[in-house]
Structure 1
Amino acid sequence: MSVNDRTPVTVIGLGAMGSALAEAFLGAGHPTTVWNRSGEKAAPLVAKGARHALAVGEAVAASPLVVVCLTTYDATCAVLEPASAELAGRALVTLNTGTPEGARRMAGWARERGARFLDGAVKNVPPAVGAPDTLLYYGGDREVFDAYEATLRVLGGDTVHLGDEPDLAALYEQAVGGLLLPALLGFFQGAALVSARGLKADTLVRFTTKWLEMIASELPAIAAEIDSGDYTRPRATVGVFHQAVAHELQLGREADIDVSWHLPMYEMLERAIADGHRDHSVSALIETLRKPVPQA
């Protein structure tokens, strides 16, 4: 593809991630139009060759592919509403946070205005946009993905279409994203432990990385147990994790740190044991998750 053949793109929303998206398109030679509610955020991109549209309708009309990176689906609809007429026939790609239900509503909203729709997620931080190993996944119109795959791949070399359902990216975003805060809290707890002894948090990084790699290596086997429903050949049992609870609570007292964020997990282990899973693989905890405690 020559520079003259590069698909024109419009990017709406110029926060940290939206600006990184626009920079990636510009760097790959795509004519790029940008719009943001506060126009001063466009200036650095204009200096790099972007066209700054003063009205959102003008921005949408400038390109066959419109990429929107705002906070929520509701915010996206509110910003794009004045450009409803210009959306007809264009490919609309949303890269924001939200629930699967929100993605389905967004798809219906776009369809009513004649737009072809893809919803996506960027699974990395803004500085990683455009890297060969940066993951983005999309759900929605396969024809749109096929038509613009080469352009979308500019944002990350690991670009995946999950299926035609418009809520799949939001579904996987929520499913994968649930790992982030517990993992970070685990690191923060470790950092609190070592810093209480006058050691630096960065001394943990090497060992934490190895531990995360070990966990990653176990995920295929864990997923296979979940998919089969057979938890009877454990590598680590629910009971083993339950036995560690007393030690973890004692550690919190000794180090004088707050470990109360563990308590819901301990309660879940108790429920799993009550349901007969003590000697089953720890992956049997998914069965406990599938039986939520009734809300009072």
Structure 2
Amino acid sequence: MSVPDNGTARTEAVRPEAARTPVTVVGLGSMGSALAGAFVGAGHPTTVWNRTPEKATPLVALGATRASTVAEAVAASPLVVACLTTYAATFEALEPASDALAGRTLVTLNSGTPAAAREMAAWAAARGARFLDGAVKNVPPAVGRPDTLLYYAGERAVFDEYEETLRVLGGDTVHLGEEVDLAALYEQAVGGLLLPALLGFFQGSALVTARGLKARTLVPYTIKWLEMIAEQLPLMADEIDSGDYTRPLASVGIFHEVLPDELQLAEEAGVDGSWQLPMHALVARAVEAGHRDHSISALVEVLRAPRPSGA
């Protein structure tokens, strides 16, 4: 079966035995609704719950069952997927269902720190539930696509048991390891790229629109630039892992020399470039630390170093 069209989402066919697995989804924001829709579309008996019951109405129309309480929702399925904003929100939502968690598997797909993931795992274990923590690395309309990435951490046997069911949510489904906080760690480590990258695009958009040009004109060139960066990431990762920064394609010094130009252009265009100043300071610290002729990936050594007092 295919996922109902929630924009552009699609999923591959799943095995009949996976399709029969009952699933509960707790939390029906845009992402939670997309997850529930994918499960329904793939043939899973799907129970849904949200603090605002009306959010379940479109899913009920597709075939989901709306639970009147979170405890009823948890009790309905062996697999419970919680998709709320944070671990704190997940704790708060699930606390009334504590007694119903025993013998079930809880999967959390929310934002938060590795420490909070460990706390969540201990909380679930104390209530007799098995636990996986995960992250959806895409936007809601991409749920169900064969190339959509989700990764999980926790007991491998639990992941193996539900892998085909979870794969309904995205074909690129990965188990990172048994350390239960790994998904939260990678979520933070990978997700940290998003805002700086978007700010770079927004800065560029402010610059070109100040000239009366359209931000849309930047898109093809920005995509090519991001593709170039993607090609260089394996090399930079190898430099970081080896600690050898002596064969740079782009050195710290090159970046350092052009920093004044960035600020001058922003000033000329009447654009606020102050968000770049901490990055500029980081590059300057790398030069001071002797990395001028090293690869730009040597910035990781500055990030690892204690920040100077008073800085």
Counterpart contact for 1:3–1:29, Cα < 8 Å: no
Selected match of 1:221 from 231, 235, 246 = 235
Structure 1, unpaired ranges of 5+: none
8 Å Cα contact 1:193/1:255 also seen in 2 = yes
The 2-side partners of 1:134 and 1:295 are apart by: 43
CA change 1:84–1:294 in 2 (3 A) is farther
Aligned residue for 1:7? 21
- Runs of 4 or more above 4 Å deviation: none
- The normalised TM-score by structure 2 is 0.93
SS of aligned partner of 2:47: strand
Q: RCO greater where, 1 or 2, for CA within 8 Å and sep 6 or more?
A: 2
Query: Is the CA contact 1:67–1:92 (under 8 Å) kept in the aligned structure 2?
Result: yes
Q: CA deviation at 1:143?
A: 1.0
How much has 1:294 moved relative to structure 2?
5.1
- Asked if 2 retains the 8 angstrom alpha-carbon contact of 1:3 and 1:30, the reply is no
Match of 1:111 in 2: 125
> Is the partner of 1:206 in helix, strand or coil?
helix
* Cα distance between partner residues in 1 of 2:273 and 2:48: 46
Whether the 8 Å CA contact 2:19–2:42 is kept in 1: the answer is no
Answer yes or no: is the 8 Å Cα contact 1:12–1:69 preserved in 2: yes
Alignment CA distance shift 1:3-1:276 (3 Å)? closer
Query: Contact 1:235/1:281 (CA < 8 Å) preserved in 2?
Result: yes
Deviation at 1:157, TM superposition (A): 0.4
Q: Which amino acid counterpart does residue 139 of structure 2 have in structure 1?
A: V
Q: 2:162 is matched by which residue type in structure 1?
A: Y
The separation in 1 between residues aligned to 2:281 and 2:83, in whole angstroms, is 39
RMSD: 1.1
- SS of aligned partner of 2:175: strand
Aligned residues: 296
Partners of 1:135 and 1:159 within 8 A in 2:
yes
Identical counterparts, % of pairs: 73
Q: Which residues in structure 2 correspond to 1:192-203 (within 5 Å)?
A: 192-203=206-217
Given the two structures, how large is their TM-score scaled by the length of structure 1? Answer: 0.98
Structure 2 unaligned blocks of 5 or more: 1-14
The match for 1:32 among 40, 46, 49 is 46
Is the contact made by 2:18 and 2:164 (CA closer than 8 Å) also made in structure 1? no
For 1:276 and 1:293, locate their aligned partners in 2 and report how far apart those are by CA, in whole Å.
Answer: 16
User: 1 CA distance for matches of 2:296 and 2:172?
Assistant: 31
Q: What does 1:220-239 align with in structure 2 at a 5 Å threshold?
A: 220-239=234-253
Q: Deviations over 1:221-277 (max 9, x none)?
A: 000000000001111100000001111111112211111111001111111111100
**Residue in 2 that maps onto 1:55:** 69
Contact 1:70–1:96, Cα closer than 8 Å, also in 2:
yes
Q: Distance in 2 between matches of 1:295 and 1:72?
A: 33
